[in-house]
Amino acid sequence: MPTNPSRLAYFPGCAMKDQARPDELGTLQALALLGYEVEEIPRWNCCGTVYSLAQDDLMRHVGPVRNLVRVQGMGEKRVLTLCAMCYGTLTRSARFVEEPERLERINAFMDTEDDFRGGIEVVHLLTLLRDEVGYEKLASQVKRSLDGLKVATYYGCVLLRPREFAVDDPERPEVMERVVEALGGTPTVFPERMECCGAYLTVGRSDVVEDRAGRILRSARGNGADLVVTTCPLCQFNLDKRRPAGAPSLPVLYLGQILAWAMGVDEPAVAALLTDEPATGKPVPSGV
């Protein structure tokens, strides 16, 4: 089936439609400005959130694979997600069912759907910007430079671990830094950028998450950052909403928000960090 390269099947995931809604709007507008026709996949379900490591628990792969069936039904070969957790579960399940026996068993169970035939690639906002758009084109599309704003690039876990599913070198990643550079920001590489935020301990053991969030934010601030960006709504929630008393107050944004602002999209969270001063072009940090 011929596919339109600018048409982009999009899997939002639950967070993007709920607490992370502000992350989604600007990001999608920015993708439209980059020439993509983003189309939300119909009747998508939760990605499964936490990838199941049990070898015999095929049921846990039904959710992610069902989403891939929907992408297949659109006639598309790739699907975009903006969330690191969704990227992890969808990518790993797509790989898991590459083994024919597993695929056959899952297809037999999902008897109300078309059989999944495999061959769907899952892309993340970062890999899309790197591998399809490219840093140079991205830089050329910037309408408003971040003008040296010091952006701490926080990866967290699932973008880089386990190694075989990493979006970049799991020990020395650079994709997020290169994107920030392309947008005119100054990436702040800090030691805790690949530390876990505490993830779902936020539900039952928020004290652990607070401890980790405090460490990560102090490290980012200590290395001179004006703000932190993530590409995971859960990391963003944990670093921002589980910020312990006394931790640095620097903003924690979704990467798509600074992308959107740079592309000229209205993005109040970024605008609040920068006061437009065309005469000098100097950023004015918001006092954090």
Between 101 and 111, whose beta carbon lies closer to another protein?
Answer: 111
Contact (CB, 8 A) for 67 and 87: no
- Please report how close the Cβ of residue 21 comes to another protein at its closest, in angstroms: 9
Distance between CA 32 and CA 195 in Å, rounded? Answer: 32
Beta-carbon contacts of 223 under 8 Å, excluding residues fewer than 6 positions away, are 152, 188, 189, 190
Beta-carbon contacts of 62 under 8 Å, excluding residues fewer than 6 positions away, are 106, 109, 110
- Please report how close the Cβ of residue 29 comes to another protein at its closest, in angstroms: 20
3-state secondary structure (DSSP) of residue 232: coil
Between 59 and 272, whose beta carbon lies closer to another protein?
Answer: 59
Between 206 and 286, whose beta carbon lies closer to another protein?
Answer: 206
| Number of H-type helices and E-type strands within the chain | 13, 8
- Please report how close the Cβ of residue 216 comes to another protein at its closest, in angstroms: 24
User: How large is the greatest C-alpha to C-alpha distance in the chain, in angstroms?
Assistant: 65
Between 23 and 226, whose beta carbon lies closer to another protein?
Answer: 23
Single out the residue of 114, 184, 188, 205 nearest to residue 154, CA to CA.
188
Between 45 and 107, whose beta carbon lies closer to another protein?
Answer: 45
Between 27 and 188, whose beta carbon lies closer to another protein?
Answer: 27
Between 199 and 273, whose beta carbon lies closer to another protein?
Answer: 199
- Please report how close the Cβ of residue 233 comes to another protein at its closest, in angstroms: 12
Contact (CB, 8 A) for 242 and 210: yes
- Please report how close the Cβ of residue 193 comes to another protein at its closest, in angstroms: 29
Residue by residue, DSSP assigns 103-146 as HHHHHHH-TTSPPP---PEEEEHHHIIIIII-HHHHHHT-SS--
- Please report how close the Cβ of residue 78 comes to another protein at its closest, in angstroms: 21
**Residue 207: CA count within 13 A, CB half-sphere:** 0
Positions touching another protein (CB under 8 A) are 14, 17-18, 43-46, 48, 59-60, 62-63, 66, 109-110, 112
In this structure, what token pair is assigned to residue 253? 């944004």
- Please report how close the Cβ of residue 228 comes to another protein at its closest, in angstroms: 24
